[in-house]
Structure 1
């Protein structure tokens, strides 16, 4: 997958050999969506509004920080949001699973633990988003559900769809899997309610920016700022959809980066990040939740927070008020 990812975003001509498979994939995707839209397959409506935060590409685009921003914004405006997700990478024996700040990433997935810790919202994960949403509502008095990913999970009816794009890599070569990175054709974006661009935004898109200067220790409650690491090289760890974004972020803060990119959701083994030199090791917050039990004093993580325009928030609240009647 990592090898294909390299070519998808460089528009390599040899990928045209896979175009027949991509055309078939697109056809099946459109057929499946049409079955739900036409009522031939049942979709389930929840008694509270459902907001889907997803994308049409494979890999990370900024969905998790967008969900965190939404949860915080809605709480500030009187809502009681709850979160659901697939729990990607989780190895629990039964689903759905409730997630708390103390949950183990290997059981429920790294992103789920991060979301539960940062948002303070009740959260349930499972491959069946409908079952996850029903358990969330049964256990918690939430009045709006935010789904981290799930744009293609049409069994769960949605009231608001937010598509998040990587503003730099965009849609790659524009092909569906396997010739390109798309889960659905580009035309799918015309049907969503909001398009958020993580990075440079185009007309009709809402720009999302990520920033943060604090650095926290995995092994305790120590904290400092990024500039404190400017005197020495640092190992940068990123097992996310676009590792280069994290490396560039650190370099923009003046750090000398030795980058180590891993597949998205990579399960780190004990000692895997114990390098032989004395340089500090900085990682994303999503990776940190998987390495807490193996960390030493040299392991740190860099939390980032999202920002979206005020007008985006106003439009979102108006859309929710319309759903609530």
Structure 2
């Protein structure tokens, strides 16, 4: 049980090696009619998706798991206390560190904001670099410098997406301080952006930014595994960015993030230009999403007048060709899923490109905070 709690603290699957996405099996899947339409290898659905449903309320499943949440909370407080007392050490870098993360598990729209942050800082004269854990990557050699041609199975899908979209150097490793030192040494980066990592206290930071989805809030308000919280919701951060949601939960005020569809482009064609979503060859499409909150992706497409055949998959899912429909209808997927499906892309497969912007008021507050 202690091992389970500390795996939860590190946000990695219990019983699986670090960076290894667990294979679907009868042990880690459950049968839930709410996800009867989930299309993936094996039977049933992953336990984490079942838990996402349970985390919305303090129902039977959450209550049964609550004793583990108490143990998790105790372990979290002990770990935080050890850092506060200086028994566990945080690495202070010679450059500023900005951490963009969340207090809950699951998607909150963080990745587009990391991309925005990199461009924002670069356009103002900094040399930013991005560090990430490389979740889902199977590599046994770390740190790993990531490019848009890197294998997402080795370094993680989000890292490959960040490298391709941000235009700044990206390094992944469980030790974010080591990744940052490599960025400073190899690329002379003068400011570091940590993709996720609010709970990664071994890397000292200058600015903490929490991303929370409007309406989703903090679920039932309980810590893992009875709820979605990685740490208590009263934690102080420098900024809170609120992305579009659609749930019924309540969150505290923050800077509102605007997310826009830039267009779609043909997968597998590096020369393909973005085109308006209205120019797709058909209005009924297959929508594929292996992200933390696939419903947000689906709603975004429906708002543009598309009729969807939905294909939700678990976050960081490793696709095989047989899982993608091939009936002549267009297929649209997220950018993160696209980096994994490129090797077997077919004509008629498209990637939806989105961008996020937190607004001028946040820009001014951020610049004031970092001293420019």
Instruction: Report the TM range for the smaller structure's normalisation.
Output: over 0.9
What is the SS of the residue equivalent to 1:304?
strand
Please give the alpha-carbon distance, in whole angstroms, between the structure 1 residues aligned to 2:68 and 2:58.
Answer: 17
8 Å CA contact 2:217–2:251 kept in 1: the answer is no
Q: Judging changes above 3 Å, is the alpha-carbon distance between structure 1 residues 311 and 23 closer, same or farther for their aligned structure 2 residues?
A: same
8 Å CA contact 1:99–1:124 kept in 2: the answer is yes
Aligned partner of 2:297 among 239, 246, 252 = 246
Please give the alpha-carbon distance, in whole angstroms, between the structure 2 residues aligned to 1:60 and 1:30.
Answer: 25
Unaligned runs of 5+ in 2: 1-47
Unaligned runs of 5+ in 1: none
User: Which digits, 9 at most, give the CA deviation of each residue in 1:227-248, with x for residues without a partner?
Assistant: 1238431000111010000000
Aligned partner of 1:174 among 214, 221, 231 = 221
Normalised TM-score (structure 2): 0.83
Please give the alpha-carbon distance, in whole angstroms, between the structure 2 residues aligned to 1:93 and 1:194.
Answer: 35
The answer to whether the aligner puts 1:199 opposite 2:244 as a matched pair is: yes
Counterpart of 1:228 in structure 2 is 279
Normalised TM-score (structure 1): 0.94
Q: Judging changes above 3 Å, is the alpha-carbon distance between structure 1 residues 156 and 75 closer, same or farther for their aligned structure 2 residues?
A: same
The answer to whether the aligner puts 1:317 opposite 2:367 as a matched pair is: yes
Runs of 4 or more off by more than 6 Å in structure 1? none
Within a 5 Å distance, the mapping from 1:52-71 to structure 2 comes to 52-71=99-118
8 Å CA contact 2:110–2:211 kept in 1: the answer is yes
Deviation (angstroms), 1:162: 0.3
- Which structure is richer in relative contact order (CA contacts within 8 A, separation 6 or more)? 1
Please give the alpha-carbon distance, in whole angstroms, between the structure 2 residues aligned to 1:186 and 1:28.
Answer: 16
Count the aligned residue pairs.
319
Aligned partner of 1:295 among 313, 328, 345 = 345
User: Which digits, 9 at most, give the CA deviation of each residue in 1:240-271, with x for residues without a partner?
Assistant: 01000000000001100111110100011133
Within a 5 Å distance, the mapping from 1:1-325 to structure 2 comes to 1-188=48-235, 191-199=236-244, 204-220=253-269, 221-222=271-272, 223-229=274-280, 231-275=282-326, 277-321=327-371
CA RMSD, 1 decimal:
1.6
Please give the alpha-carbon distance, in whole angstroms, between the structure 1 residues aligned to 2:127 and 2:285.
Answer: 40
